[in-house]
A and B are shown apart, each in its own frame.
Chain A
Amino acid sequence: MDKIAVFLCHCGDNIAATVDIKKLKEELSKDGDLLVKDHMFLCSEAGQQMILDTLDENKGIDRVVIASCSPKHHWNIFKDCIKQRLNAYMWEMANIREQCSWVHSNKEEATKKALALIRGAIGKVKHHKPIGTIEIHVNRNILVVGAGIAGMHASLELADKGFHVYLVEKEASIGGNMTRLGRTFPTDDCSMCTVSPIMNKVNSHPNIELLTLSEVVETSGRPGDYKVVVEIRPRYVNPDKCTGCGLCTEKCPISIPSKYNLGLDKTKAIHIPFDSCVPNIAVIESDVCLKLTKNRCGICEKVCPAGAIEYDQKPQRRELNVGAIIVATGYKQMDLYNTEYNYEHPDVITGLELERMIVPSGPTGGKIVCPSDGRVPKTVTFIQCAGSRDRRYKEYCSNICCMYSVKNAKIVRAKIPGATINMCYIDIRAPGRRYEEYYKTFRENDIKMIMGRPSEIMETPDGKLYFDVFDKATNKLLRIYSDLIVLATALEPSEGTRKMAEILHLQYGMDKFLSPLHVKIAPVDTTTEGIYIAGTAEGPKSIQDSITDAGTAASRAATILKDDSTTIDLTTAVIDPARCTKCGLCIEACNYHAISIEGEDYTVIDMACKGCGKCVSICPEGAIEIRHLTGAQLRAQVDSILESDPDSVIAYTTETCGYNAADIAGTSRMEYPPVVKIVKLPCVGRLSVADILYPFEKGAKGVMIFACPEGLCHYIDGTEAAKEKYEKAKEILKEKGMDAERLRFIEILTPDGQKFQKVCKDIAEYIC
């Protein structure tokens, strides 16, 4: 065995006042394999120099233990120091400040615990092996799915940085829902005037390859190197020849409801999707075209001066190679047919339908009318939260409806000065910059605000719309007859969003919107490295928020695509092919799709693996290990702690919440009994039933498992996985006639030092 260097830090008197460093030195020096040194401030430059000098003078030393503060504090400082002489992972840190000197006052007990913690680290470090790095090839192309405002913005950001972008759009034109809007809050800008230049820029950008009428149907590969299959529907019009003159549309005999105008007017089987669409060329709807369905007609081919019509186009498949993917597949409006909102009535419309009427070039020429008969409404009523904040439909708030209804009501007020305008609402949510001010200017208009939700929208026998609503503000039950009712319809994920979740194995919530890796600190990342979300695919949000998202997603993608190759530390799982029986349990357990079958064997995709160790906990053959916490290391640490101090409770903690809570208890000087000795894990999901029971076999007085609270696990569901094993371990203890109360499972949050202190006191009291 090579020698191990142990460095003890006094931390001024932060450690030395409570822990007898001299005694530690004496005790540890009894072991001839250890070279023990101490320093007043090990993290100082002088302290680090001492470490380097020691390693230079003693060439036999190939591993190090540092007993000092919490690794949360100075891990990187010591790692960078040791990296200069040894492999960056050939050392271990024992936390004798937050977990010892700051939480115990009895010097003798604290010293005894410090010794146990250090011996635990020594035991563990003996099993350390150098952890290498690998270089991974990165394909620097990128795929953006969905060409709404978020997708277009992300594409431009990346294209301007020099990346080659494939922008895939399901519809015949790019632009998305923003092209349908009349004006946008809180500036009352004309939406098309804002979005049109962006569309043109996307179309003409040399680094963006636009694929319209296209859908992603298949993906495979790993972060940095994805293969994506895109299916391209035929347009039946040659894009290079079509000039967008519109003669074909004029002559086409088949009328269909316009999808772009949400059925508010008609278009033809061959049409240009909308004014200033991109690309500005015609498309044939194959399911209604006479030529394509019945092989008759063919008028468009005859009249097209450019000879652009090609009925014999076939669907194509194209394979793209990309390094990262941004999903910007957007939202759609919820279907409110067959509800109490009476959406079947033509004069009950959605906010988006009203937007089409606001646009001067829209189906009504910018006039607000009742779709049933084209008359100008005398009473217009807005009903908020139609389908949103409703457990029967969509439980969430759709975020933008308050502001767009406020805007639309203002526009209706300006367009029909004599009309009565009502708005039924629960509360008005205006939390963005300049939103409250916008709402204030809205209140200067004469709009009747009714604080209540109608129960149902009914019609009189002659078809007039009315409803009863209780106004909480005036305490009156009102009956309101309306010519036009505008529903602030809930937003839901588009079909494309749902499809992409399936194809890319992305996590999504109960609401079916895609879930980011972390709602707060990783809002555009997904559980798969190299796949990012932008815009309303992640949840209802405004244009400005979608653009912020898109910029963030582009930046995240650029980070992993910055070089042709990338180097990563292999703190990942590794499979022993000789022991692997290919049962598939690890593939099922892995939330990151990091285990793939290559040829005969299972292998870990190092770039996808997050190193949580959940796979380790379920492998029945012990064929899989994480390099940074092998079974041997874990057992050795437990062994050494218990050898040093048999009266110990082993506390497994997650690297995040559990360990942090203990640190908070430390920094707040919350004393707890010294029997508790912490063993840090990346995630409690790493624990197998055997790992949980192992300390009991070695004589531990108890075992505690500190997990991040369910739903807040940093690796998605490690807490649930650990809980399952905890239950099993408890059963086994009971079967063996042992005291199952000595095994405890605690869900804890980072700031909850108080809870940490309490549960430690509880178990100590119980076992004594």
Chain B
Amino acid sequence: MSENSTTDLFNMSKPDGEKYNELVRQLAVLGIKNPSICFQCAKCTSGCEAMKLLELQPHSIMASAKSGFIDEILESDLIWACVGCYKCKERCPQEMSPVEVMFVIKNWYVSSGKSLPGDYQKILQGIITKGYIQDPLEVLDRENKSWNRDLLGLPQIKRPKDMKSFASAISQLATEKL
């Protein structure tokens, strides 16, 4: 990719050929074809669950990836909205995989030492400290009476027995994967 000829006039950024090549290489390891094959039919976005909640547009992620504006994706909070349902990969008429493009880039983001944006950091912290994204909440009913799982007769949720080794195992797994 000859990147120097093009400039994004909104933020004066240029396509990053090296990152693009690295993305293509890592996707190839996963058995996924070059994003440049994508012809922008937007079928992925039509079915995207995260689109409905947070306006994630996988086809536009693919377009940015194709043109080499990888940093733009890397800095975007939106890719963290992907719920990993894989519908985009399943339905793509060109056998692309926006979900995995985002996974690769999310991995880069974390391995560069940056912390996850906003609430996603809390989710990660929750998993490492409690074993859950968050503790089951108590809720109020119409009479302002507080209910929890015990009062409702629901079984206790199992937690990891040894929270410390669970946390280190998770962290190790995450870093190894990266």
Chain A residues close to B by CB (< 8 Å): 340, 385, 389-393, 426, 451-456, 467-472, 477
Contact = CB atoms under 8 A, between A and B. Distances in A.
Given A470-B57, A470-B59, A453 B95 contact: no
A453 B51 contact: no
Interface string B43-63: 111111001100001010000
A471 B41 CA distance: 9
A358 B156 CA distance: 63
A455 B52 CA distance: 13
B47 A472 contact: no
A453 to B, nearest CB: 4
Contact of A470 (B39, B42, B93): B42
Contacts of B47: 454-456, 468
A477 B41 contact: no
A64 to B, nearest CB: 54
Interface residues of B, number: 19
Nearest to A456: B47
B39 A426 contact: yes
Contact of B94 (A391, A456, A468): A391
Nearest to B91: A455
Contact of B95 (A392, A426, A468): A392
Contact of A451 (B42, B51, B57): B42
A340 B43 CA distance: 12
B51 A477 contact: yes
Given A392-B95, A469-B46, 12 more contacts: A390-B93, A426-B40, A452-B43, A454-B47, A455-B46, A455-B87, A456-B91, A470-B42, A470-B45, A470-B48, A470-B57, A477-B52
Nearest to B94: A391
Contacts of A426: 39-41
B34 to A, nearest CB: 13
Q: Which 9 A-B pairs have the closest CB atoms?
A: A455-B47, A390-B93, A470-B45, A453-B43, A452-B42, A453-B41, A455-B46, A426-B41, A469-B46
B51 to A, nearest CB: 6
Contacts of A454: 43, 46-47
20 contacts: A340-B91, A385-B41, A389-B39, A391-B94, A392-B95, A426-B39, A426-B40, A426-B41, A452-B45, A452-B46, A453-B42, A454-B46, A455-B44, A455-B46, A455-B91, A468-B46, A469-B42, A470-B46, A477-B46, A477-B51
Contacts of B41: 385, 389, 426, 452-453
Contacts of B44: 455
A472 B59 CA distance: 9
Contacts of A453: 41-43, 46, 93
Contacts of B51: 470, 477
A469 B51 CA distance: 11
Given A456-B47, A468-B47, A385 B42 contact: no
A453 B91 CA distance: 10
A360 to B, nearest CB: 36
A131 B94 CA distance: 53
A181 to B, nearest CB: 27
Contacts of B45: 452, 470, 477
Contacts of A390: 93-94
Interface of B: 39-48, 51-52, 57, 59, 87, 91, 93-95
A496 to B, nearest CB: 28
Contacts of B52: 468, 477
A41 B4 CA distance: 54
A470 B59 CA distance: 10
B117 to A, nearest CB: 23
Contact of A391 (B46, B57, B95): B95
A389 B93 contact: yes
A679 to B, nearest CB: 40
B42 A472 contact: yes
Contacts of B43: 452-455
A467 B47 CA distance: 9
A144 B51 CA distance: 54
Contacts of B87: 455
Contacts of A471: 42
Greatest chain A CB density within 10 A among B43, B44, B57 is at B43
A213 B48 CA distance: 50
A768 B147 CA distance: 90
Nearest to A387: B93
Contacts of A340: 91
A707 B47 CA distance: 47
Contacts of B95: 391-392
Contacts of B93: 385, 389-393, 453
Contacts of A477: 45-46, 51-52
B165 to A, nearest CB: 42
Greatest chain B CB density within 10 A among A340, A452, A471 is at A452
Contacts of B57: 470
A735 to B, nearest CB: 35
A751 B46 CA distance: 45
Nearest to A424: B46
Contacts of A451: 42
A390 B40 CA distance: 12
A393 B94 CA distance: 10
Nearest to B37: A391
Nearest to B44: A455
A472 B46 contact: no
Contacts of A467: 46
Contacts of A468: 46-47, 52
B58 to A, nearest CB: 9
A470 B47 CA distance: 8
A390 B94 CA distance: 6
A385 to B, nearest CB: 7
Contacts of A393: 93
Greatest chain B CB density within 10 A among A385, A389, A391 is at A391
A178 B40 CA distance: 33
B145 to A, nearest CB: 34
A384 B84 CA distance: 28
B173 to A, nearest CB: 32
Contacts of A385: 41, 93
Nearest to A468: B46
Contacts of A391: 93-95
A389 B95 CA distance: 11
A391 B39 CA distance: 12
Nearest to A479: B52
Contacts of B94: 389-391
A11 to B, nearest CB: 44
A455 B91 CA distance: 7
Nearest to A452: B42
A385 B51 CA distance: 23
A185 B45 CA distance: 33
Nearest to A472: B42
B67 to A, nearest CB: 15
A426 B43 CA distance: 9
A391 B91 CA distance: 10
A162 B39 CA distance: 50
Nearest to B95: A391
A385 B39 CA distance: 13
A744 to B, nearest CB: 29
A392 B95 CA distance: 7
A389 B41 CA distance: 10
A495 to B, nearest CB: 25
A472 B91 contact: no
Nearest to B88: A455
